[in-house]
A and B are shown apart, each in its own frame.
Chain A
């Protein structure tokens, strides 16, 4: 069973404390919401969980059946959706999906790609260049990339950023489905979203 343990985690930027004493334990089928005002360190905490930044103190451990996983061990089972993450504008929607699946080690069929694009409300737009997508469409495509990976660890920063009402409903549907079969972490201040999570991690308060 895949497990995340965050133990007494602290992050300082120079003399400025971002957060400290963060503790969290999650397994597959469990979810947590990181909540807090702007600048409280929600995205920083996500980066620490992803292993893309060093903590000042404490540690983040992913393990499976008691055995600690290294970066590549959990990275290949992790997906992130965030407004700070971009896809390739010079490639089409299909090319982006095919590229991210392929570098992850999987060849995907057109049917699979069409299926995820339909799920996120981008059916029929796969041949368009991502550079021509609206911000909301780009956000939907990030969910399509994540869904195609079928992650066991799903991190979502500001889940409904840049999305219209229909997009928000799609995303909440995805979150409800993924919380059953993945280790889900949301970083959000939207009540309707953090209420979907089973645990809370309050920052900046």
Chain B
């Protein structure tokens, strides 16, 4: 039963679109991510009260919230395929890299939604505003790409384990530590009003991290996914 052929990019987008459609209908990941972010932000805001911590602490708090909120939802892209029993037919239906990039884009979109919601809430509840928005946003975008890249491959690794949640965070933390240190440094500079000259080392590290993480994931994914 022949049909017209579709491009590699269309296959990748079909995986992303399928995940978005399923997510809208089931709220599998987005609810846990958003609830975690909201609860953490509220608790920190109440704990700080009228205190105005320095930009170093605020930058760390921002990424701690983003990191743990991401941990609570990003692994679902592969865990739900394994738990629902759909991973088997997916493995036989398309190339491993189509799945990887489809899931990576979905996780990146999820992180973007999370970031778009967290940033204004962080500014309102914790009364802190980036003094240099360009530096803040470049750190946020590169940080989200690194976070999505690392968590997507780690999610594929832990999806078959029995204690998925704990294993996901334990495996993610050492892999994401260099990324977190670099983005926290950049966010500190953004909150403190510094400019691009102050973040050149962190920026290079972030770009290198993102490239290495996606390249290593591409090299490893087929093996991780098939077995």
Binding site for B on A (CB under 8 A): 50-54, 71-72, 75, 78-80, 82, 84-91, 95, 99-109, 112, 115-116, 142, 145, 147-148, 150
Number of A-B contacts (CB under 8 A): 90
Top-8 shortest CB links A-B:
A86-B85, A103-B94, A106-B3, A90-B22, A102-B14, A108-B3, A90-B25, A150-B1
- Say yes or no for B26: interface residue by CB 8 A criterion: yes
Pair B5/A102 contact, Cβ less than 8 Å? no
- Say yes or no for B2: interface residue by CB 8 A criterion: yes
Pair B89/A85 contact, Cβ less than 8 Å? yes
B26 to chain A, nearest CB (A): 5
8 contacts between A and B (CB under 8 A): A75-B91, A78-B92, A99-B14, A99-B18, A103-B93, A103-B98, A145-B89, A148-B1
Pair A54/B227 contact, Cβ less than 8 Å? yes
Residues of B contacting A147 with CB < 8 Å?
A: 1
Known: A101-B3, A109-B3. A88 touches B86 (CB 8 A): yes
- Say yes or no for B184: interface residue by CB 8 A criterion: no
Q: For residue B8, which residue of chain A has the nearest CB?
A: A105
| Bound Cα distance A199, B178 (Å) | 58
Known: A106-B3, A108-B3. A80 touches B94 (CB 8 A): no
| Bound Cα distance A108, B11 (Å) | 13
Select one of A50, A51, A52, A106 contacting B2, CB under 8 A.
A106
- Say yes or no for B10: interface residue by CB 8 A criterion: yes
Residues of B contacting A78 with CB < 8 Å?
A: 92
Interface of chain A: mostly helix, strand, loop or mixed: mixed
Pair A102/B92 contact, Cβ less than 8 Å? no
- Say yes or no for B6: interface residue by CB 8 A criterion: yes
A177 to chain B, nearest CB (A): 12
- Say yes or no for B95: interface residue by CB 8 A criterion: yes
Residues of A contacting B2 with CB < 8 Å?
A: 106, 150
Select one of A71, A87, A89, A91 contacting B89, CB under 8 A.
A87
Select one of B14, B22, B92 contacting A88, CB under 8 A.
B22
Known: A52-B226, A100-B89. A107 touches B3 (CB 8 A): yes
Pair A71/B1 contact, Cβ less than 8 Å? no
Q: For residue A89, which residue of chain B has the nearest CB?
A: B84
| Bound Cα distance A10, B1 (Å) | 36
| Bound Cα distance A80, B89 (Å) | 7
B186 to chain A, nearest CB (A): 37
Q: For residue A47, which residue of chain B has the nearest CB?
A: B88
Known: A51-B226, A105-B6. A84 touches B21 (CB 8 A): no
Residues of A contacting B226 with CB < 8 Å?
A: 51-52, 71
- Say yes or no for B79: interface residue by CB 8 A criterion: no
Known: A102-B11, A148-B1. A90 touches B92 (CB 8 A): no
| 19 further contact pairs, Cβ within 8 A, besides A85-B85, A106-B5 | A52-B88, A52-B227, A75-B92, A80-B88, A82-B88, A86-B86, A88-B22, A88-B86, A91-B18, A91-B22, A100-B89, A102-B6, A103-B90, A103-B98, A104-B94, A105-B6, A106-B4, A145-B89, A150-B2
Pair A90/B21 contact, Cβ less than 8 Å? yes
B23 to chain A, nearest CB (A): 9
Residues of A contacting B92 with CB < 8 Å?
A: 50, 75, 78-80
A50, A79, A104, A115 — which one has the most chain B CB atoms within 10 A of its CB?
Answer: A104
- Say yes or no for B148: interface residue by CB 8 A criterion: no
| Bound Cα distance A148, B94 (Å) | 14
| Bound Cα distance A60, B195 (Å) | 60
Task: State which residues 70-119 of B face A: CB under 8 Å.
Answer: 84-86, 88-95, 98
Pair A105/B1 contact, Cβ less than 8 Å? no
